[in-house]
A and B are shown apart, each in its own frame.
Chain A
Amino acid sequence: MQLKEKISPAASSKSCRNYENNIKREVNVEILSEPKLIKTTATVEKEDWDLVIEPKAGLFAIKLREIWHYRDLLILFVKRDLTAQYKQTILGPLWHVIQPVLTTLTFLVVFHKIAGIRTDGIEPVLFYMSGITIWNYFTACFTHTSNTFVGNAGIFGKVYFPRLVLPLSALLSNMVRLGIQFSLLLAVMFYLHLVNGTPIAIGFHWLLLPVIILLMAGTGLGLGIIISSLTTKYRDLGVLVGFGIQLLMYATPVAYPLSFLKSKSILALVSWNPLSSVVEGFRYALFGTNSYSITSLGYSVMFVLLVLLVGAVLFSRVERTFMDTV
């Protein structure tokens, strides 16, 4: 265990003893010597090594204990992301608020006033703002993590730390941004309640909120690390991601409710989008109005698990040698 900071006297004497009592055993070792493979038999001493560097890692070489050891680094990366972004700006973190407000106003004009899309009985401002809040969280997580390898090659090439720390830190720093935007959303809800008497639906559906946010984080992380792993050698996919994410928003009920869709085929298409049920679920958790089924929640959960699984496998494969091809 190379994570152990100081070997205690007891532990080191124990390891010495282990070292003295080496177990010798016969092991077949394949040594590649060009041009063909020769099999030789060598005596290999079994010892207690703290770290073994080998060509291939297991399928799931995600070492959670190691990430835990680097938790301080994780926190520092989060801090760096949050503080560095708005250094030398006057408004500072206010920009986290200004961006969703302007987007909401735009949506209000384009989709509500011009296109005349109804909003499921939810106050339009809240409808758009809630959609934008959760969608922003997804895009931020996704674009941030999908750039993990290529964007941080400079650091990765010089020093080792668990690579997953960076995408995880992106998740957390964006969680803080989500917190700010969510607070804004709550503030607007209260304001409208006080001024217009718009009802605030309080109920058990609020308990769904953390689940929905975790689902969104998981989807962003999973898809992000998949893209990141696939783009180290061939960057094509990275180009697609840039505008793909904008297009994806139109296939997700961010600017319109699912109930607005009349065409069967389009409804089916949007329903298959695993993000749809998360966005709808977010609105259900907040307003409790539209129908939300356990099936669509289950669908999202399954999707997140699958994406995280594939992402973890790809990520742990790529992280070992990506420096050679990036």
Chain B
Amino acid sequence: MSRTVIRVENLSKQYRLGQVSTGTLGHDLNRWWHRVRGKDDPYLKIGEVNDRTRMGSTDYVWALKNINFEVKDGEVLGIIGRNGAGKSTLLKILSRTTAPTHGSVKIKGHIASLLEVGTGFHPELSGRENIFLNGAILGMTKEEIKRRFDQIVDFAGVERYIDTPVKRYSSGMYVRLAFSVAAHLEPEIMILDEVLAVGDAEFQNKCIGRMREVSEKDGRTILFVSHNMEIINRICDRVILLKNGTIGREGTVESVTSAYLRSDLGTSSHRNWTDAAAVPGNDFMQLLEARVHNTKGETKEIMEVSEQVGITFTFRVLQPVRKFTHGFTIKNESGLVVFSSHDLNTSIGKEETRLPGLYEVTGWIPPHFLAEGLFTIAVAAFENYGSLHIHFNEPEALAFTVIDYIDGNSARGFYPGRFPGIVRPLLQWEARTIHS
């Protein structure tokens, strides 16, 4: 069953930056002159790794450089990476809106790409006419659209407006109709851009729900491009991390997600500070190691909402400290401090000397507390003599992701959509019948 349906070989794409002007005409003429003499394109030999944050020395960059990967039948492959890592370029090549500079992509089966919903919608045409037009643009035949027409209208919920020009639609109706057409495409391979998932919560849910349906029930191959770890975790079997136009890492969701966090935040769920010069701390205390783990002590990048999360860090005391404590602060993806905690059993307020030595401390975050998402943890140790005296405070010492499987074991229940809230406690509910 696991035959290869997409094979990408040595795929590269070069772009020229800046504006098209007379300067580019000179390059074009030079390129043409090289070709006439049977030589290679002079501008393909230059070009830099595509790092958008640095100013380059040439106008040419490789948006993709020697990409190789395969996708098996029925697989859901996630493609992640920072902005400008080459995700969109890869999508464009796969969906044939532009050609690669080098290399090839080989595909088995009917492929459809969805980089946008409602492509080709004409404002003057009615909903009915646009369904046919949009469906045909996406590669459906008239017969296929006719067969699914009622389903599409039903799914979009715009029956009443179906003969009204779409320019009269509310923006929500417009998007629903557009998505509905796309959702009823039935290609063997589907390429999806995460931009699909923008819009209102209801739309996102429909989008994600439909994707799960397509992948799980129909066993279709999906390529999904995103930098939303939550969705990637929920949907994908395997993930490719693109970094500056090359494949940074490829493998299971967990391993690649952690690599991504490491490359993006420079941190992960387990860190050692081995470099003596860069170790956090002072003459009194030094932070040596920190990690995120489950109750079995296994270091984890990804924790479930229903799991207890252990934060453990190891530090060395070099000189005796007295009014001392240690703790951590946890921030969510939007930078909001979810909470801060420190060990009350140690000596803050109390006079208790801790002698030089190696210490390990663990703080437990209760299950059903953190919501989904990426969290960063700052660990610190300090003494309180009226004012705080900080020994070390490592702001982004650790990072980990909390996911919420829709298995009914969390506050989410079986609701698949966007679930609001900074924390996600599992409350006890009581219900009484007052009158019936």
Contact = CB atoms under 8 A, between A and B. Distances in A.
Interface of A: 2-5, 7, 15-16, 19, 29, 31-37, 47-57, 69-70, 72-73, 75-77, 79-80, 83-84, 87-88, 154-161, 233-234, 320-321, 323-325
Contact of A159 (B16, B24, B95, B100): B95
Contact of B100 (A55, A69, A323): A55
A36 B46 CA distance: 10
A52 B147 CA distance: 30
Contacts of A51: 106-108, 111
Contact of B129 (A48, A83, A234): A83
Interface stretch (B115-123, B306-314, B331-339): B115-123
A210 to B, nearest CB: 27
Nearest to A1: B110
B98 A323 contact: yes
A51 B111 CA distance: 9
Given A50-B109, A159-B138, 14 more contacts: A29-B10, A47-B108, A48-B108, A49-B107, A52-B104, A54-B99, A72-B142, A83-B125, A88-B124, A156-B97, A157-B97, A158-B115, A159-B95, A159-B137
A32 B138 contact: no
Nearest to B15: A324
A52 B7 CA distance: 9
Given A52-B106, A155-B119, A160 B96 contact: yes
B115 A159 contact: yes
Nearest to A2: B110
Contacts of A161: 137, 139
Contacts of A57: 99
Contact of B136 (A4, A73, A158, A323): A73
A321 B89 CA distance: 12
Contacts of A56: 99
Query: Which among A52, A158, A161, A321 has the highest number of chain B CB atoms within 10 Å?
Result: A158
Contacts of B15: 324
Q: Which DSSP category, helix, strand, loop or mixed, fits chain B's interface?
A: mixed
B97 A160 contact: yes
A34 B41 CA distance: 13
Contact of A32 (B44, B115, B120): B44
A160 B344 CA distance: 63
16 contacts: A2-B110, A35-B45, A50-B107, A52-B107, A53-B94, A53-B100, A53-B106, A55-B101, A55-B104, A70-B136, A70-B139, A72-B141, A158-B115, A159-B119, A233-B20, A323-B98
Given A16-B3, A49-B107, A72-B136, A321 B129 contact: no
Contacts of B66: 31, 33
A75 B110 CA distance: 22
Contacts of B119: 154-155, 158-159
Interface string B126-143: 000100110011110110
Contacts of B93: 53
Contacts of A37: 40
Contact of A80 (B12, B45, B94, B129): B129
A32 B25 CA distance: 25
B165 interface: yes
Query: Which among A52, A73, A156 has the highest number of chain B CB atoms within 10 Å?
Result: A73
A226 B186 CA distance: 36
Contacts of B425: none
Ranked nearest first, the 4 interchain pairs of A and B with the lowest CB-CB distance are A73-B136, A320-B99, A160-B96, A53-B105
B106 A160 contact: no
Contacts of B97: 156-160, 323
B70 to A, nearest CB: 12
Contact of B120 (A88, A155, A323): A155
B103 interface: yes
Nearest to B136: A73
B47 interface: yes
A110 B3 CA distance: 73
Contacts of B124: 83-84, 87-88
B99 A55 contact: yes
Nearest to B142: A72
Contacts of B141: 5, 69, 72
A167 B195 CA distance: 30
B102 interface: yes
B137 A4 contact: no
A15 B4 CA distance: 12
Contacts of B24: 233
Contacts of A320: 98-99
A15 B125 CA distance: 42
Nearest to A233: B20
B113 interface: yes
Contacts of B103: 54-55
A66 B113 CA distance: 17
A190 B99 CA distance: 55
A321 B137 CA distance: 19
A55 to B, nearest CB: 5
Contacts of B111: 2, 51
A307 B387 CA distance: 85
A324 B20 CA distance: 11
